[in-house]
């Protein structure tokens, strides 16, 4: 079964750091780009970051550029999101998602999603 399982969320003070993990199983992890998408309480979906299958290319939303770093360890089938200088507006459920296509990043949509991990930034 294809599965994604996020972890690492929690309560952190403004200015603090947190690292999210997303453990993948049931597919050839290194063949697919992966993304992080977040959803603030009562709000819509916001794309945060994406990384190519090899990890050689990374992309960020303007709202997190310079503060968040996406990475992956293909030997461990795990995706990461290092979040620094956290702000109250980063409070959200963070989902990891798998790109459906092995080529043409994004064209085939994101077909597998984790259950989400909650990040709360508050003093």
Partner 1 sequence: DIQMTQSPSSVSASVGDRVTITCRASQGISSWLAWYQQKPGKAPKLLIYAASSLQSGVPSRFSGSGSGTDFTLTISSLQPEDFATYYCQQANSFPWAFGQGTKVEIK
Which positions lie near partner 1, rule CB under 8 A?
A: 35, 37, 44-47, 50, 59-62, 95, 97, 100, 105-111, 113-116
- Least Cβ distance, residue 7 to partner 1 (angstroms): 15
Which is closer to partner 1, CB of 1 or CB of 62?
62
CA gap 15, 28 in Å, rounded:
36
Which is closer to partner 1, CB of 16 or CB of 100?
100
Task: Compute CA distances 122 → 92, 109, 111, whole Å.
Answer: 12, 33, 32
Inter-residue contact 49 to 36 (CB < 8 Å): yes
- Least Cβ distance, residue 70 to partner 1 (angstroms): 12
Identify the bridge partners of residue 118 per DSSP, sorted by sequence position.
93
Token pair, residue 108, equals 């085939």
Token pair, residue 37, equals 């998408």
Which is closer to partner 1, CB of 80 or CB of 99?
99
- Least Cβ distance, residue 112 to partner 1 (angstroms): 9
């Amino acid at each position: 079964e294809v599965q994604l399982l996020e972890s690492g969320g929690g309560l952190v003070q403004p200015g603090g750091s947190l690292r999210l993990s997303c453990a993948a199983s049931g597919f050839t992890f290194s063949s697919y780009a992966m993304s992080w998408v977040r959803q603030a309480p009562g709000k819509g979906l916001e794309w945060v970051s994406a990384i190519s299958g090899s990890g050689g290319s990374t992309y960020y939303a303007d709202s997190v550029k310079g503060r968040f770093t996406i990475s992956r360890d293909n030997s461990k089938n795990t995706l990461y999101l290092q979040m620094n200088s956290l702000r109250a507006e980063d409070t959200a459920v963070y989902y990891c998602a798998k790109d459906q296509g092995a080529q043409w990043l994004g064209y085939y949509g994101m077909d597998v999603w984790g259950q989400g991990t909650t990040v709360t930034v508050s003093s």
